[in-house]
Amino acid sequence: MNIAVLIISMVLFFVLLFGIGFILNMLLRKTWVVAIVYPLIALMFINDQKISSFYGEPGTAFPQLGHKIQSLHLADLLILLFGFMGALGAGMTIRTLRERGYRMF
């Protein structure tokens, strides 16, 4: 992956998850909802199995998911990490705004 594409992707994921997190936190009035849900969504992106296999065949599904996570490249991990940082940033921003007296919806 080209370094310019990596940097643009990291910034894009940060801004995207910050924006989505900010709007959802404002509408749902739950400060950390996106930061809690984001790892599950990221695992669904990484996973190539059906979700039902985790219930029907957990002995094979979870090790395959672990192997899939371990086989991620550094660029993929950085992009996912910056998305998580955007979700955390949205939660911290909403919390700070609420502490200072701003009321959203």
58 domain residue, yes or no: yes
Query: Quick one: pLDDT at residue 105?
Result: 53
For residue 66, what are the domain limits? 3-99
What's the whole-number mean pLDDT along residues 8-24? 93
Q: What is the pLDDT of residues 27-67, one digit of tens each?
A: 888 778 888 898 888 888 888 888 888 888 888 888 988 89
d(CA 28, CA 88): 16
Residue 68 burial (CB < 10 Å; 0-12/13-18/19+)? middle
Q: What is the domain count for the chain?
A: 1
Q: Is residue 52 part of a domain?
A: yes
Distance between CA 60 and CA 40 in Å, rounded? 19
Nearest CA-CA partner of 21 in 77, 74, 89, 78: 89
**What is the model's pLDDT at position 32?**
82
Q: Do the domain assignments include residue 105?
A: no
Q: Which pair of structure tokens corresponds to residue 69?
A: 């996570």
Q: 3-28 and 74-99 are packed helices; what angle lies between their axes, rounded to 10 degrees? A: 30
Find, among 83, 53, 81, the residue nearest to 65 by Cα. 53
- Model confidence at 17, pLDDT cuts 50, 70, 90, reads very high
In-domain check, residue 20: yes
Residue 78 lies in a domain: yes
Q: Tens digits of per-residue pLDDT, 59-100? A: 888 898 889 889 889 999 999 999 999 999 999 998 898 888
CA–CA gap between residue 23 and residue 42 (Å, rounded)? 19
